[in-house]
Chain A
Amino acid sequence: MKPLSWAALLGLAVILVFLLSIRLGSVGLTTGEVFAALRGEGDLNIQRIIVDLRAPRAAMAILVGGGLSLAGAVFQALLRNPLAEPYILGISGGAATGAVLAIAMGLTASLSWALPAAAFAGALLAIVLVLRVAATADNRVDVRVLLLAGVVVGAFFAACISFVLSISDARTVRSAVLWMMGSLAGSDWTTVVMVTLYTLPAAIALVGLARPLNLLAIGEETAGYLGANVERVKRVAYVLASLLTAAGVAATGVIGFVGLIVPHGVRLLVGSDYRVLLPLSFLAGAVFLTLADVVARTVMSPAEVPIGVITAFVGVPLFLLLLRRSMGARHGAGIES
Chain B
Amino acid sequence: MRWSFNCFLLATLLGCDVFPGQQLPARPEQPEPSSGYPFRVVDAAGAQHTFDSAPQRIVSLVPSATEALLGMARGDRLVGRTEFDRMPELIGLPSVGGGLQPNLEILVSLDLDLVIRFAGDSDLASAERMTDLGIPHFAVQPDGIEDVLTIIRDLGRITDASDAADSMLREIRDALDDVARRVDGLPEPRVVYLLGGDPPWVAGPGTYIDELIGIAGGTNVFDDLGTLYAPVSMEALLDRDLDLILLSDGLTPPSPLAHVASATLPASVEIPGPGLGEAARDIARLIHPGAFDPSPR
Is A106 touching B121 in the complex (CB atoms < 8 A)? yes
> Is A170 among interface residues, defined by CB-CB distance under 8 A?
yes
Residue on B with the closest CB to A334?
A: B1
> Is A302 among interface residues, defined by CB-CB distance under 8 A?
yes
Question: Which single member of A43, A48, A108 contacts B124 (CB below 8 Å)?
Answer: A108
Q: How far is the CA of A298 from the CA of B97 in the complex (A)?
A: 12
> Is B293 among interface residues, defined by CB-CB distance under 8 A?
no
> Is B101 among interface residues, defined by CB-CB distance under 8 A?
yes
Known: A53-B133, A301-B21, A303-B98. A27 touches B121 (CB 8 A): no
Q: How far is the CA of A337 from the CA of B120 in the complex (A)?
A: 54
What is the distance, in angstroms, from B25's C-beta to the closest C-beta of chain A?
10
Q: How far is the CA of A8 from the CA of B256 in the complex (A)?
A: 65
What is the distance, in angstroms, from B124's C-beta to the closest C-beta of chain A?
6
Residues of B within 8 A of A236 (CB): none
Known: A28-B21, A112-B128, A169-B229. A325 touches B104 (CB 8 A): no
Is A318 touching B8 in the complex (CB atoms < 8 A)? yes
Is A28 touching B20 in the complex (CB atoms < 8 A)? yes
Is A27 touching B105 in the complex (CB atoms < 8 A)? yes
Number of interface residues of B (CB under 8 A): 47
Number of interface residues of A (CB under 8 A): 47
Residues of B within 8 A of A24 (CB): 16-17, 19
Residues of A within 8 A of B102 (CB): 302
Q: How far is the CA of A188 from the CA of B120 in the complex (A)?
A: 21
Is B21 touching A171 in the complex (CB atoms < 8 A)? no
Residues of A within 8 A of B98 (CB): 303
Q: How far is the CA of A91 from the CA of B99 in the complex (A)?
A: 31
A interface majority secondary structure = helix
What is the distance, in angstroms, from B127's C-beta to the closest C-beta of chain A?
9
Is B5 touching A318 in the complex (CB atoms < 8 A)? yes
Is B105 touching A103 in the complex (CB atoms < 8 A)? no
What is the distance, in angstroms, from B102's C-beta to the closest C-beta of chain A?
8
Q: Quick one: which of A48, A54, A314, A322 has the most chain B CB within 10 A?
A: A48
Is B19 touching A301 in the complex (CB atoms < 8 A)? yes
Residues of B within 8 A of A322 (CB): 5
Is B24 touching A45 in the complex (CB atoms < 8 A)? yes
Q: How far is the CA of A123 from the CA of B97 in the complex (A)?
A: 32
Proximity string of chain A (54-82) to chain B, C-beta cutoff 8 Å, 1 when within and 0 when not:
10000000000000000000000000000
Q: List 18 A-B contacts (CB under 8 A).
A: A25-B21, A25-B105, A26-B105, A27-B22, A27-B109, A49-B109, A53-B133, A106-B121, A178-B101, A185-B104, A186-B129, A295-B12, A299-B19, A302-B22, A302-B97, A302-B102, A303-B83, A318-B8
